[in-house]
Structures are given as structure tokens and as C-alpha cells.
Amino acid sequence: MSEAMQPAALARAALAIRRQFLRMHYAARSGHVGSGLSAIDILTYLYAAWLRPSDQFILSKGHGASSLYATLHHFGKLSDAELATYYADDTLLPAHPAPRGVAAIPAATGSLGHGLPIATGMAHSYKYLRGTDARVVCLLSDGECNEGSTWEAALFAGHHRLDNLTVFVDANGIQGFGRTEDVLTLEPFAKKWEAFGFAVSECNGHDFAQLSAALGAPSPGRPRCIIARTVKGKGVSFMENTVDWHYWPMNEAQYGQAVAELDQAESGLLP
Amino acid sequence: MRVDFVKAVETVLARDAEALFITGDLGFNALEGLVAKYGKRFINAGVAEQGMMGLAAGTALTGMRPWVYSIAPFVTYRCLEQIRNDVCLHQLPVRIVGNGGGYTYGIMGSTHHALEDLAVLKVLPNMQLFFPCENDHVAAAVALMAELDGPSYLRLAVSAYNTSRAPLAEHPLTLTRSYAARADRSKPGVTVIGAGHAVQVALRALSAHGLDRENVDVFGIARFPFQLAEDSALMASVLDTKNVVFVEEHYAAGGMGESMKLALPALSAFSLMSASYRSDQRYGSAAFHMKQAELTPEALVALVQAQLRTS
């Protein structure tokens, strides 16, 4: 395992991305904080350790765009100057990813249920038409699995045995107006993906060793689905597991407390 | 037009290794030849239009140029947001093909009619619409679509009046066809414009209902956005006659006629013949629906005569 992939290095990277992410949201007074925090460890692992230059990543949960921007910036795929425009007038970095704006973001998303069909088309093309070994990763929210188009694409991916496609579900258990289990239950969730022809694993979406194991398991002849059990608002105690922090921007005191909690977490890391 | 389309798209697939064909599980007795010949570049996405349009966009993001086929209502309304977001906003070369424009599917019922397809697509950014007038007009539309870097829609249809007529001229870019031209342009006249296969109402009127070639210029248009600066024969006729009768097999609201009226200079008369919604919910052949909507050669002749009387 390279140094960048050591758990402590990954944790430090994720903390730096969370710090940047909170700074962006505080400066912009923008919402969707909780949704971004639940995805940051997955994004960190993917960009630090797994994605190759030829691979494609589709953020189907477009409301997590700022977490992707912060991650791309951390890994040198967005400049300081570009990132500084987030959420401001004349930016290429709006609250949901824009079309044709940033090289590292191939598809605009934000209306849920669009990412997996697009990712499936890319994966099919790479595997059967273009003859490359490029892989496609698509990150869904669990609420997004209410969308029929997600399952249309899942049927297609299973049928065509797209083993170059990895679906991540950021399963934080909370959607727009309540808990997923109360709104439209998805369970038995893993069995649903299995029934559609996917090799399914579940992991703690904040545990790098588990993410590594899940991504490391090959699935010849089958697309993969990794159900990453996550905590909405992860890393900031008062944001964790609440619907509210899907929506609210932070005030000064809340931002201060959030940063203090990241400082404390960082001090607990091994040097 | 479907047979002509399949022939034309086959030449595209043969010529362009990055072209591919995606169907929403339709094309029985029409697409089998493509399946046999192009194997990997023929995808049946299943009965799943939203997923199909998204995956078409995905293939285009990898450099492919997909043709996405189903019947017109299914490949437009069901997946409109995928067309808008995944295709049009990304300016991708996805060629959408809808079979059965207008009342083509007659007795199949209103779910199968496509009377709003051009309306919902014409407002989308970067979208170009093609609606051939006759079977022998399809190949030219396909050839132009194959060259586009952005999205397009092809509306295939069969007219209840099923009338073919050799055009006097066809513009290579706009595809506008001139079907009849007055010999003496100093006399009062009417410019009849048909949108796509609806022009066949006028062709039938010319051949069998006494529409007088001394009085009318007849054009069939086939593209939107219009390129009227290119369409000099059509514009010359309109400026001469100041009278237009426009025929479309589509609802008036959002149709091509509405857009044409806005695009033309001030006229003495502009009459619009369009499809209409009927609440009585009676169904029949395409001809039955055309008669209900008064989209008939007789009605066209009456409108032309009325305009001539007042000019």
C-alpha cells in the first residue's frame, strides 16, 4: 500500500477536504452540507486510491457537488481560482454540477435518477464499442433509488454484464423530507441490487479499510453495487443524522464549532 | 418513411464506425437487418425510454454518435427530461427518431398519436428538428443529421392522404421543397406551406381537389429552426402573395405554424390548419382524425379561395 493510501493519510486527506468543504459552504451561505459530508470519505478513497486517469466518475447525487469540487481541488483537478468562484455569479461550479464546465465532471446532474443511465451508457460503450479498459463509477444517494430510471439502468447493466461499472450508494438513510425507511423503504436493499444482476457488498462508508476491501473485490461478468452505509452530516456532531442539515447554511457560531470538531479529530490522528 | 429511414441510417452505420443504433424495443419487421449486420452497434435498451436516453447520452460522452429509435410519443414525452438534461444541455450528437408523427397511428389511440412532439422539443437548447415531407425526403434529413455535432430529432410519419409528387426544387440545407409555383406572379395568390408530411394534404388538393396551380405556390418545410434567409423561393412567394395557409399535423399551440407566423413579415392573411384535441374520444384511422380536425384537402381549398377573395 502506497503512503497516500495508508488509512492515516486518507483520514488526513478527508479532514482537509471536509475543512475546505465547510469553508466553501460558510463563505457561500449554501445548503446541502449534510449530503456532502456523508459522501466525502467515499470520494476521498476513490480519488486517492482507486480512479485511474482513464476512468470516469459520475456524481448522480448532484446535490453533493460541493463535496466533489472540494475533493477535485484537493487532488489537483480544480485550481484555487476555480474553487474560489463556487456558488458565486459567473461560476462554473454551481450547487449542482454543470454541463461541460469542468473537465473532471463529464455529466451535469441534479435531477435525481439521471446519473446511472449515463454511467451505464459510458460503461457499455467502453466495454463493447470502444474496447478500452476504462471503468465507470457512479455515486447515488439512497433517496435517488426511488427513481424508476435508476432501476431501468440497473436492469440494463445487469443484463449486459457491465463489470466495468461500480455503483456506490451513499446510504445515509435520510432523504428530502424524512427517513428513507419512512418515506419509501428500500430494504431489503442489497437483495434488490442482487436481483438486478449486481455483485453487492455493504460497508461502512466512512471506514477506508472497508471501502478498500469492497472496491478490491472483483466481480467478473457482473456490475458491482457497494452499499456504503453512511451518516448524513458525518464529522460534525450537530449535523449528524438530521434532515435539517440537508437544507440549512451555517451561521458563524455553527461554522466555528464545526471547524473545532475537525481540529479535534485531526489532533486524534496518529502523526 | 420507416423503410426509407432504415436504409438511410444503414448507410450512416456503414460509413461511421462511431455511429450506433439504440431502440426502445420497437422495430419489429423493420430493424432485423440492422441487428444482423451491426451486432455490437445495435442495442435494444428494452422498454425503458428514460434509461435509454440517458445511456445514449452516456455513449455519446465516450465519443459515439447514437441514433435512438422508438415511436414518436414514447421517445419524446416519456424521457423529455433526459433529452433536456443529458442530451441537449451537454450538446451531444444524439439523433432521436420518432416513428408515427401526428395521427399516423390513428386507430392505435391517443396514447400513440404525436401531436405535441415538435412543440416540446423545439424549445430545447441546441435541438434541431427534421420532419420530412415524403418518403424520398428522409435520406436527405438523415444525411444532414449525421453531420451534426449536437442533438436532433427526426419525425417519421405516414400521411392519411399518402400523396407523392415530384418537387420542383429542394434546398440542400433547409430541405424545403417547392411543389407548385404560379406561372404569373403578378396575379393575387396564396402561399401554401406544409410542415413535413402535412404538405401531402396540399399535394392531394393539387392532384384531386382542384387546388389551382395558377393561384398557389406550395412549399413543404422540413427543418426547425427555420433558415428563412436561405429559403429565398419561399420568402419571395410570401412577400408576393402576403397570403399564407399553413398546414401541420400537430396541435396549433407550440407548433411550426405558430413559429412561422412569428418569423414571417406582416401579411394580409395567415390561416393555420392544425390538429385538434377532441373530448369525444372517438377513434379511427388517421384519415378519420384528419377529417375530424378539418385537416383535409377540401378545407385547404376553401381557405385558399377565401384568402383569394379578400386579396
**ipTM entry:** 0.93
Domain with CATH 3.40.50.920 in chain B: 169-310
Beta-carbon separation of A155 and B86 below 8 A? no
- Distance between CA B93 and CA A112 in Å, rounded? 23
Residue B274 pLDDT: 98
pLDDT tens column, A57-70: 999 999 999 999 99
Spatial CA neighbour of B199 closest among B213, B178, B181 = B178
Determine what percent of chain B is predicted with pLDDT higher than 70.
Answer: 100
Q: Which of A99, A125, A149 sits opposite B51 (nearest CB)?
A: A149
For cell 379561395, the residue is B305
Q: A198: distance to nearest CA of chain B, Å?
A: 17
Residue B270 identity (one-letter amino acid): F
Q: Look at residue A6 and tell me whether its pLDDT is greater than 80.
A: yes
Phi, psi (rounded to 5 degrees) for B280: -75, -15
Phi, psi (rounded to 5 degrees) for A13: -65, -45
Residue A271 pLDDT: 64
Query: Which residues of chain B does A148 touch, with a Cβ-Cβ cutoff of 8 Å?
Result: 50
Does B78 reach chain A within 8 Å, measured CB to CB? no
Residue A5 pLDDT: 75
Q: What is the pTM of this model?
A: 0.95
Beta-carbon separation of A124 and B85 below 8 A? no
Beta-carbon separation of A156 and B20 below 8 A? no
For cell 400513440, the residue is B112
pLDDT tens column, A215-230: 999 999 999 999 999 9
Q: Where are the domains of chain A?
A: 3-267
CATH 3.40.50.970 fits B2-156, yes or no: yes
Residue B101 DSSP one-character state:
-
- Distance between CA B142 and CA B139 in Å, rounded? 5
Domain with CATH 3.40.50.970 in chain B: 2-156
pLDDT tens column, A238-271: 999 998 888 999 999 999 999 999 999 999 886 6
Phi, psi (rounded to 5 degrees) for B20: -145, 165
User: Is A151:A197 a contact under the CB 8 Å cutoff?
Assistant: no
Q: Looking at domain B169-310, which of 1.10.260.40, 3.40.50.920, 3.20.20.70, 3.30.499.10 is its CATH number?
A: 3.40.50.920
Q: How confident is the model at residue A17 (pLDDT cuts 50, 70, 90)?
A: very high
In this structure, the strands spanning B169-170 and B177-180 are antiparallel
Q: A153: distance to nearest CA of chain B, Å?
A: 5
**Contact residues of A toward B, CB < 8 A:** 56, 99-100, 106-108, 111, 113-114, 116-126, 128-130, 148-149, 152-153, 155-156, 159
Q: How confident is the model at residue A130 (pLDDT cuts 50, 70, 90)?
A: very high
- Distance between CA B73 and CA B102 in Å, rounded? 10
Residue A3 pLDDT: 62
Beta-carbon separation of B59 and A114 below 8 A? no
Q: A115: distance to nearest CA of chain B, Å?
A: 8
CATH 3.40.50.970 fits A3-267, yes or no: yes
Mean confidence (pLDDT) of chain A: 95
Q: How confident is the model at residue B16 (pLDDT cuts 50, 70, 90)?
A: very high
Residue A191 pLDDT: 98
- Distance between CA A161 and CA A132 in Å, rounded? 15
Residue B238 pLDDT: 97
Phi, psi (rounded to 5 degrees) for B7: -60, -45
Query: Which residues of chain A does B45 touch, with a Cβ-Cβ cutoff of 8 Å?
Result: 156
> What cell numbers appear for B256 in the block?
411550426
